[in-house]
């Protein structure tokens, strides 16, 4: 792995100031994302994993409410130093997001086609046949009858279909990095597998990098190349997925891996996280 | 064999469908189609299936959140599926439900005391205010939450804590059967383990019977004594966890099993 990483995050620290109190959401977070690879960020709610992903394209509230320091380096450009106008060229086009809850991420009053077309018109003005591009992006996420789905509204689609539409929208602009913030938590296990397989396929085919945010090590095992484990805003463990899963060194990582119920290994009680972790 | 706590016989549930034109009669949609199963006392029966398979509707029809169109629901041998709402009241106390989404299933404008004492006011109207409060503190203790939480509001709690409050509310009226409708699918894996353990502890302490509805076979396998697999409104397979896991007969069960992420 001698190649320079696509995205390099160094010493990212995020502090929220509210009610005359400072809360550190992430402190000293560093990681590297290589192109074509999947980096999983694992942690419980409140560990700072989503916040540090939102900071990539300055999606957090501005100062003084939220202070972000450190470096986010994308091919030699520090994303944190860009102005609002400059960063908006990166949002969606270079770094695209898909969120946990597709039901609330889609706009209920516009059709699927309108919403995907909007993203294409903004970020890829060179495309003349927008309709064809929309249908193509729906095809890529393996939606049957894309012509029909394009005319539908979010409430007419199931959760799995909504998430596919979200992915189609994110992919329509051909991003280099896809940030998937718990993309399958709201979905059934069977759909979860389909979505993960789809992301893995797109990652291979397009050489796209994925920053996968999750709390479930089960998904990490099947999908990620690299893993960082976050707790209370700090990275407690980092390494290749295989290494972290086989030899977790931090007790928190061990706890997270142990508490997943496994098929065919019936125990009397599920392991829970120890409360006295340092 | 003694009578099971709950027996469902040939249950079908129809939801009103959409009429395509004003004068046209709407065609009802069958959500649950001729389903039969029994739940023995003190056991846990797991019900797995995808969204839209009718598993939640089955659970809901037992406590009348969904209509029972055809068939019978027998609680200790008494048919409760065809009773009028008024006659059903005594059974509401015996069957309770825990919901999937701990964010939407608690009233945001009521503190924990209010949430827990409402069922007590209805089903135990003779209790004095002090007694009710004492009971509520006791309920919080059962779900391992500190008693000072009594005067807090739902938004002050995390998902796992809210789900515990939901469990405490279900326990308030001392039910025998609890229908758990995806109680852990909205929670983090670590919190999920804690809530599953809590449910199992409570089952031992209070001799509870569970109908555990979920889409995650790994969790269902862990908690259940018997598993039912539902697809498109029908039970396609039933058996002990070991049978389902080692010898899945239906193609659908195999798909479900394959979908569970495996740690290599």
CB contact under 8 A, B264 and A221: yes
Q: The pTM is what?
A: 0.82
**Over 70: is that where the pLDDT of B202 sits?**
yes
CA distance A133 to chain B (A): 31
CA–CA separation, B119 and B237 (whole Å): 36
Q: CB of A244 within 8 A of CB of A253?
A: yes
Q: Which residue has the higher pLDDT, B213 or B22?
A: B213
pLDDT above 70 as % of chain A: 96
CA–CA separation, B29 and A180 (whole Å): 36
pLDDT at A277: 58
pLDDT at B44: 95
Angle at A262 between CA A260 and CA A264, to 5 degrees: 165
* φ, ψ (nearest 5 deg) of residue B80: -100, -10
Mean pLDDT lowest for which of A92-106, B19-33, B84-98, B144-158? B19-33
- Those residues whose C-beta lies under 8 Å from the C-beta of residue B138, and which sit 6 or more positions away, are none
Residue from the list B245, B258, B263 with its beta carbon closest to the beta carbon of A218 = B263
Inform me whether the C-beta atom of residue B191 falls under 8 Å from chain A C-beta atoms: yes
**Over 70: is that where the pLDDT of A2 sits?**
no
- Those residues whose C-beta lies under 8 Å from the C-beta of residue B61, and which sit 6 or more positions away, are B11, B13, B32, B67, B68, B73, B81
Angle at B85 between CA B19 and CA B79, to 5 degrees: 100
Q: CB of A229 within 8 A of CB of A49?
A: no
The structure tokens 């000293």 sit at: A28
- CA-nearest residue to A46 within chain B is B158
The structure tokens 């003779």 sit at: B126
pLDDT at B154: 92
CA distance B31 to chain A (A): 16
Residue from the list B218, B256, B261 with its beta carbon closest to the beta carbon of A222 = B261
CA–CA separation, A41 and B11 (whole Å): 45
Residues in chain A with CB shorter than 8 Å from the CB of B190 are: 44, 215, 255-256, 259, 272-273
Inform me whether the C-beta atom of residue B222 falls under 8 Å from chain A C-beta atoms: yes
Q: Where does the pLDDT of residue B167 fall: very low under 50, low under 70, confident under 90, or very high at 90 and above? A: very high
pLDDT tens by residue, B103-156: 888 999 999 999 999 999 999 999 999 999 999 999 999 999 999 999 999 998
pLDDT at A1: 46
- CA-nearest residue to A101 within chain B is B186
Q: CB of A48 within 8 A of CB of A230?
A: yes
Q: What DSSP state is assigned to residue B41? A: T
Inform me whether the C-beta atom of residue B83 falls under 8 Å from chain A C-beta atoms: no
Rounded average pLDDT over B4-33:
84
**Over 50: is that where the pLDDT of B248 sits?**
yes
Q: Where does the pLDDT of residue A267 fall: very low under 50, low under 70, confident under 90, or very high at 90 and above? A: low
CA distance A204 to chain B (A): 20
pLDDT tens by residue, A184-236: 877 777 788 888 888 888 888 888 999 999 888 888 888 899 999 999 999 99
Residue from the list A191, A218, A272 with its beta carbon closest to the beta carbon of B197 = A272
The structure tokens 């199992």 sit at: B200
pLDDT at A266: 64
Inform me whether the C-beta atom of residue A222 falls under 8 Å from chain B C-beta atoms: yes
Residues in chain B with CB shorter than 8 Å from the CB of A257 are: 263
* φ, ψ (nearest 5 deg) of residue B6: -135, 135
Highest mean pLDDT among A3-7, A215-219, B96-100: B96-100
Q: CB of A176 within 8 A of CB of A4?
A: no
Closest by CA to B33, choosing from B8, B56, B54, is B54
pLDDT tens by residue, B40-89: 999 999 999 887 788 989 999 999 888 889 999 999 989 998 888 888 88
Inform me whether the C-beta atom of residue B144 falls under 8 Å from chain A C-beta atoms: no
CB contact under 8 A, A270 and B196: yes
In the structure encoding, which two tokens stand for residue A31, read together? 């990681």
**Over 60: is that where the pLDDT of B174 sits?**
yes
Per residue, the 3-state secondary structure of chain A, as one string, reads CCCCCCEEEEEEEEEEEECCEEEEEEEEEEEEECCCCEEEEECCCCCCHHHHHHHHHCCCCCCCCEEEEEEEEECCEEHHHCCHHHHCCCECCCEEEECCCHHHHCCCCCCHHHHHHHHHHHHCCCCCCHHHHHHHHHHHCCCCCHHHHHCCCHHHCCHHHHHHHHHHHHHCCCCCEEEEECCCCCCCHHHHHHHHHHHHHHHHHHCCEEEEEECCHHHHHHHCCEEEEEECCEEEEEEEHHHHHHCCCCHHHHHHHHCCCCCCCCCCCCCCCCCCCC
CB contact under 8 A, B217 and A256: no
CA distance A185 to chain B (A): 7
SS3 (DSSP) at B231: strand
Residues in chain A with CB shorter than 8 Å from the CB of B158 are: 45-46
Q: Which of B101, B261, B262, B263 has the most A C-beta neighbours within 10 Å, making it the best mutation to test the interface with A?
A: B261
pLDDT tens by residue, A9-64: 999 999 998 888 888 999 999 999 998 899 999 988 888 888 999 999 888 888 78
pLDDT above 90 as % of chain B: 58
CB contact under 8 A, A217 and B219: no
CA–CA separation, B241 and B225 (whole Å): 7
**Over 80: is that where the pLDDT of A264 sits?**
no
Residue B5 has a CB neighbour count (10 Å cut-off) of 21
The structure tokens 């009233």 sit at: B107
**Over 70: is that where the pLDDT of A158 sits?**
yes
Q: Where does the pLDDT of residue A76 fall: very low under 50, low under 70, confident under 90, or very high at 90 and above? A: confident
- CA-nearest residue to A266 within chain B is B222
Inform me whether the C-beta atom of residue A103 falls under 8 Å from chain B C-beta atoms: no
pLDDT at B239: 93
End-to-end CA distance of chain A: 33
pLDDT above 90 as % of chain A: 37
Mean pLDDT lowest for which of A75-84, A111-120, B174-183? A75-84
Rounded average pLDDT over A167-183:
90
pLDDT at A152: 92
End-to-end CA distance of chain B: 43
Residue from the list B190, B221, B261 with its beta carbon closest to the beta carbon of A259 = B190
pLDDT at B8: 93
Half-sphere exposure in the Cβ direction for A162 (13 Å, CA): 22
CB contact under 8 A, B258 and A193: yes
CA distance A240 to chain B (A): 14
């Amino acid at each position: 792995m001698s190649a320079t990483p696509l995205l390099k995050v160094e010493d990212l620290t995020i502090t929220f100031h509210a009610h005359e109190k400072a809360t550190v959401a992430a402190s000293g977070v560093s990681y590297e994302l290589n192109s074509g690879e999947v980096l999983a960020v694992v942690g419980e709610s409140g560990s700072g994993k989503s916040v540090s992903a939102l900071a990539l394209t300055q999606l957090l509230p501005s100062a003084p409410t939220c202070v972000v320091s450190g470096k986010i380096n994308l091919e030699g450009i520090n994303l944190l130093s860009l102005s609002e106008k400059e960063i908006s060229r990166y949002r969606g086009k270079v770094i695209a997001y898909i969120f946990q809850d597709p039901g609330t991420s889609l706009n209920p009053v516009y059709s699927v086609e309108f919403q995907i077309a909007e993203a294409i018109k903004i970020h890829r003005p060179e495309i003349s046949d927008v309709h064809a591009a929309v249908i193509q992006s729906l095809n890529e996420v393996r939606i049957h009858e894309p012509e029909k789905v394009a005319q539908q509204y979010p409430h007419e689609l199931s959760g799995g279909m909504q998430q596919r539409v979200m992915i189609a929208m994110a992919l329509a602009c051909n991003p280099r990095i896809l940030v998937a913030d718990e993309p399958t938590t709201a979905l059934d296990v069977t759909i979860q597998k389909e979505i993960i397989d789809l992301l893995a396929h797109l990652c291979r085919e397009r050489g796209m990098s994925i920053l996968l945010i999750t709390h479930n090590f089960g998904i990490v095992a099947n999908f990620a190349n690299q893993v960082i484990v976050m707790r209370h805003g700090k990275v407690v463990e980092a390494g290749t997925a295989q290494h972290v899963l086989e030899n977790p060194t931090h007790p928190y990582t061990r706890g997270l891996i142990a508490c997943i119920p496994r098929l065919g290994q019936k125990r009397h009680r599920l392991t829970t996280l120890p409360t006295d972790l340092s | 064999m003694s009578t099971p706590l709950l027996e469902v016989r040939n249950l079908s549930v129809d939801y009103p469908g959409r009429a395509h034109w004003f004068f046209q009669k709407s065609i009802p949609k069958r959500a649950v189609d001729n389903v039969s199963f029994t739940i023995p006392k003190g056991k846990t029966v797991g019900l797995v299936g995808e969204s839209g398979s009718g598993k939640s509707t089955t659970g809901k029809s037992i406590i009348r959140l969904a209509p029972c169109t055809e068939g019978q629901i027998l609680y200790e041998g008494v048919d409760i599926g065809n009773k009028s709402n008024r006659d059903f009241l005594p059974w509401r106390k015996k069957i309770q439900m825990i919901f999937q989404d701990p964010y939407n299933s608690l009233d945001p404008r009521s503190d924990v005391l209010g949430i827990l004492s409402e069922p007590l006011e209805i089903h135990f109207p003779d209790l004095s205010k002090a007694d009710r409060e004492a009971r509520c503190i006791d309920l919080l203790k059962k779900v391992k939450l500190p008693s000072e939480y009594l005067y807090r509001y739902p938004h002050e709690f995390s998902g796992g804590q809210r789900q515990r409050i939901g469990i405490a509310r279900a326990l308030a009226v001392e039910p025998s059967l609890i229908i758990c409708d995806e109680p852990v699918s909205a929670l983090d894996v670590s919190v999920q383990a804690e809530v599953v353990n809590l449910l199992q502890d409570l089952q031992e302490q209070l001799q509870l019977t569970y109908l555990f509805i979920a889409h995650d076979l790994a969790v269902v396998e862990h908690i259940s004594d018997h598993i039912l697999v539902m697809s498109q409104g029908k039970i396609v397979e039933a058996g002990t966890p070991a049978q389902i896991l080692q010898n899945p007969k239906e193609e659908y069960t195999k798909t479900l099993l394959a979908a569970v992420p495996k740690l290599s």
